[in-house]
Amino acid sequence: MPCNCRSEEITVAAHCLLNPLTRVRGLAPVPFQPEGPTVQLPCPEALYLGLERWAVTRNQLDVPQFRRFCRTLIEPYADLLQMLAHEGASLRIVGLAGSPSCGVEMTSSGYTGGLPCGAEHVHVSGRGVFMEELLAELERRGVPFRAEEIGKK
Ligand code: SF4
């Protein structure tokens, strides 16, 4: 008798929770050990800016071209998540607290460009750009999910 394995919970994780090598250089890995099936989302910042990028804040990424890029990445994943949810899976989306791209409840603000000088940034309430686009796309499609974040300081 085949089991309906697709009815279980699926963790949908920000990329660097499983592969910390995409984080901005010098940032420590965030401990994360998902149980059960896990979908690893793409890392929008590494794919857009590369591995030698500077740390950025949400206001710097909140530009049309980065949002467009995020939506391009998101579309096939939203297709997959929609199909899995249609088969009965419950989706648990896990972002990274404070990230300008992947924060769910908390993101970052403060850098305004210019030469790198160690300027201060702060964590503020709100979603990162990539997560905002992903969750909005799932809502637009009527795909049920719950979203949380880890890594709060
Ligand atoms: S939080 Fe998102 S954008 Fe930042 S390194 Fe992790 S996966 Fe990439």
DSSP assignment of 48-105: HH-TTPPP--HHHH-SHHHHHHHHHHHHHHHHHHHHHHHTTPEEEEEEETT-TTT-SS
Paired sense of beta strands 146-150 and 90-96, if any: parallel
Q: Global pTM?
A: 0.95
Total domain count, the chain: 1
Nearest CA to ligand 1 atom 8: 43
pLDDT in tens, 69-84: 999 999 999 999 999 9
**Spans of the chain below 50 pLDDT:** none
pLDDT in tens, 37-56: 999 999 999 999 999 999 99
User: From the CB of 127, is ligand 1 less than 6 Å away?
Assistant: no
Inside any domain, residue 29: no
Nearest CA to ligand 1 atom 5: 23
Inside any domain, residue 14: yes
Q: What residues make up the domain containing 130?
A: 5-22+35-150
Inside any domain, residue 118: yes
CA of 118 to the centre of ligand 1 (A): 20
Inside any domain, residue 28: no
Inside any domain, residue 27: no
Nearest to 38 by CA among 69, 71, 61, 15: 15
